[in-house]
Structure 1
């Protein structure tokens, strides 16, 4: 607790008496300053107890002096009586009372130095107590961080030390990793706008803001924001509290770095084991040693492609993993999962990602299962959806050809007919009717001889015979792409 003007008045050894500003005696004192200037305000920072004997004070200057001291924010004014003035001038008492400025009478036997020493001792004791409290808190936080579930334990310990609610958010700022107490998780939507502000800044960032009746302190963890620590309570945070929060933030940053490094190592191992399995190697014993488990056979291979932030998707998958065995690993620029049908809905329920699913397979057929899932994922990329390999037959040939490649092919094949819309439509209708003249002519509403002439003109422009099945197939494919482009 900071030393207040009331505490100083209560020190009987000093003999101070209150003459004005009784209602403001609980102001904290930051320092003591002595001055006989008519206007000492330019030399003050606020929070001081100003001591004076009124050597240069005149009755007409009392109101101006009080106004200037109030503006600068002094804690109070101590007036030494029995020297320049036998009593505190009535004008000064009136002005101080009107301004709500604590005005203390300092008896002549009490030297100003005694007041300065009393304040200095109190400030030193407060700083020492703050240092001890910070040291104890840091020790307790370090002990919590060293436990089995160190991150969660550290969050709970910080909450108890500060009598505050604490949230630990992921690097994206939108997912809650830990909260203390548990009910504090309900505050996440309220602080979301402030999280976005801090996320938009780079480097080590901290922010303080009000959230309803709560004072909130938030800071990014680490230079590239491995997470966000949010602490709030109904009362303000003292300097010591901020030291404790900073210590917790440092420990959490180290803990998250260790978790991140361990996760990266596990991901590399899983990717390596997947490669071994694709080459027919048995890794069951090693996986059991690492507490990893393959789903029972037959399982499906699932490929997740096109994720904007693959690291974040992997973290979300790991955090939300079902009870059924699932094996996840990175493969190239995709995520590969080996899952049974009981967990398939979980792994295919992620929006914004192209997902391909193989037919059921076993370890011996893993490479073929991966090929099937990759092919299905390429088809799924068109709409960021889920495609099963068994359903590819219903998607048509064009869904298996990259859109840009198909468009380039169509433009090249049909280039000689560019601008010939009548010929293009006649060719499309003739091919759709399997080269039969009468049905095609009837559909177009022309005589069959007119259609024959148009088809001959197409052959002349293309320089190719439409009697060849391969030419007809290429033109039909090109016309389908051309129709989609329109």
Structure 2
């Protein structure tokens, strides 16, 4: 049923020469695939659904319950619209039928006595044929645009945008894990289909054999994108109304072009990735000239490496990290220097030009990147970029469930405890002060030692003790802790331990 051309009830009602009028039409966008005529009381058993059913008597049901059962049987059988002809059995549409249509949600049309059912059927056939012919022209024109788009450097993205505009839909390319590779929405789409797209993908993920999803909000179709005989991605299209057959056919043809474009982009990305990886390593070793040569090979249209760069270290699933780099690459323009990156161990290290940093960080507000964590270092001239990388790595340690992005500049400005981290300080405090459990006098002495910087006279005065008593307790304290408080490192450890008690 979904592979035939259809017209809407609204389009049919828009033809005044047919002498028909709507008595009750709750679903004017309902699709009509053909016309059927029947005077039986249960015609739905002989129909396929989506026909315009014409009748002059409806089998003359008995009473209010009979008319309601008649209407309900039609709706259950997929018949959305009933045309009642006047002049043969009835001079006007039976009020009980109007009431039954309202209760069942059935579209009800009055057909004037001077309008023959044959002429009405012929008009519907002509409208369907016109729609089919129009669809062929639209599909042919769209095919040409898609072919031209596939030859562009970012073919998959351009195909997605052209397809969305051509079929009037929201179009998304997803990898097998559901991550968005590219997406676009036609300017003619006036409703937000994002929730519908997410709901449909969730249902599709649970059952990939079901390639279509229909709800009150709209309709979604899924088409596999195959490479070397394997499903590598999925093409999803969503409409607010049921799509025409030519629009569905466009998906199948676009998927072939997208498969080719993705394969080409993967080859280019692999080549480009190796160039950027090596350029990044050369940059860290101070060989700016060599890094520049490789960067120009990867980004021939971009400006030279220059200006100030910000180090960004990101951790997360490799698939998400690679999608992120693709997004960052799209931010590169002729007006700014290019970004660099390398995959290092379990994370991604990036060199982002200052001008591109806001757009880069805006990706972390996207739902698809909610699992990523990023540490941002301080900006430096490109020749000194490596200086800031350690700060970005330290900032990454301060991210978590409540903080997705941390900046080293803000952390370092807030003091040593922020740099160390409260959790780390608390753990260190517990270990360092464990020998003093129950030793309240020694703990008080340690606090005074840190507060007075080891001034024994001041310590004795603050504690109300004799200097000799302070000396004796101090020796005991150091034995307990196994340190010499005269050493600067021991004093620093004591200060961190005391601060960490409140963490």
Note the C-alpha offset of 1:477.
Answer: 0.5
Q: Name the counterpart of 2:329.
A: 318
1:30-58: per-residue Cα shift (whole Å, max 9, x none)? 4566878664454445555779999xx7x
CA distance in 2, matches of 1:28, 1:407: 68
Note the C-alpha offset of 1:136.
Answer: 2.4
**Among 334, 359, 373, which residue is 2:388 paired with?**
373
1:302 equivalent to 2:318? Answer no
Contact 1:307 1:353 in 2 (8 A): no
Corresponding residue SS for 1:419? coil
Contact 2:54 2:84 in 1 (8 A): yes
CA distance in 2, matches of 1:35, 1:285: 78
1:355 equivalent to 2:376? Answer yes
Corresponding residue SS for 2:339? strand
CA distance in 2, matches of 1:154, 1:3: 29
1:243 equivalent to 2:248? Answer yes
1:401-416 equivalences under 5 Å are 410-416=429-435
Q: Name the counterpart of 2:490.
A: 474
1:335-372: per-residue Cα shift (whole Å, max 9, x none)? 444467x648658966762122476564xxx7xx53x3
Q: So what's the TM-score if we normalise by structure 2?
A: 0.62
1:484 equivalent to 2:500? Answer yes
Contact 1:31 1:48 in 2 (8 A): yes
1:117-266 equivalences under 5 Å are 125=129, 129=133, 132-133=136-137, 136=140, 139-148=143-152, 150=155, 154=159, 157-158=162-163, 161-162=166-167, 164=168, 178=184, 180-181=186-187, 190-198=192-200, 200-203=202-205, 229=237, 231=239, 236-240=241-245, 242-244=247-249, 246-247=251-252, 250=255, 253-254=258-259, 255=261, 258-259=264-265, 262-266=268-272
Q: So what's the TM-score if we normalise by structure 1?
A: 0.64
Label 1:98 to 1:458 Cα distance change in 2 as closer, same or farther (>3 A). Answer: closer
Label 1:477 to 1:295 Cα distance change in 2 as closer, same or farther (>3 A). Answer: farther
CA distance in 2, matches of 1:380, 1:152: 34
Contact 1:155 1:168 in 2 (8 A): yes
Note the C-alpha offset of 1:426.
Answer: 0.9
Corresponding residue SS for 1:329? strand
Contact 2:375 2:396 in 1 (8 A): yes
CA distance in 2, matches of 1:117, 1:349: 60
CA distance in 2, matches of 1:357, 1:155: 37
Note the C-alpha offset of 1:319.
Answer: 2.9
Gaps of at least 5 residues in structure 2 are 1-5, 99-107, 226-230, 365-372, 399-404
CA distance in 2, matches of 1:426, 1:458: 8
**Among 438, 449, 472, which residue is 1:419 paired with?**
438
Q: Name the counterpart of 1:328.
A: 340
Contact 1:166 1:179 in 2 (8 A): yes
1:205-236: per-residue Cα shift (whole Å, max 9, x none)? 7655677xxx676869867877865556xxx4
1:430 equivalent to 2:449? Answer yes
CA distance in 1, matches of 2:310, 2:432: 38
1:43-102: per-residue Cα shift (whole Å, max 9, x none)? 445555779999xx7x886988766554414644789xxxxxxx9556x97649964566
Note the C-alpha offset of 1:459.
Answer: 3.8
Label 1:252 to 1:170 Cα distance change in 2 as closer, same or farther (>3 A). Answer: farther
Q: Name the counterpart of 1:274.
A: 280
Contact 2:312 2:352 in 1 (8 A): no
CA distance in 1, matches of 2:31, 2:194: 35
1:294-338: per-residue Cα shift (whole Å, max 9, x none)? 855686572424467433432342233462313311240444444
Contact 1:354 1:381 in 2 (8 A): yes
1:123-160: per-residue Cα shift (whole Å, max 9, x none)? 99579647745752563353343343655654565466
Q: Name the counterpart of 1:84.
A: none
1:398-449: per-residue Cα shift (whole Å, max 9, x none)? 7776877765554444332123233122123124433321112223344434
CA distance in 2, matches of 1:420, 1:52: 99
Contact 2:163 2:254 in 1 (8 A): no
Contact 2:429 2:500 in 1 (8 A): no
CA distance in 1, matches of 2:233, 2:464: 69
Gaps of at least 5 residues in structure 1 are 11-16, 80-86
CA distance in 2, matches of 1:288, 1:345: 20
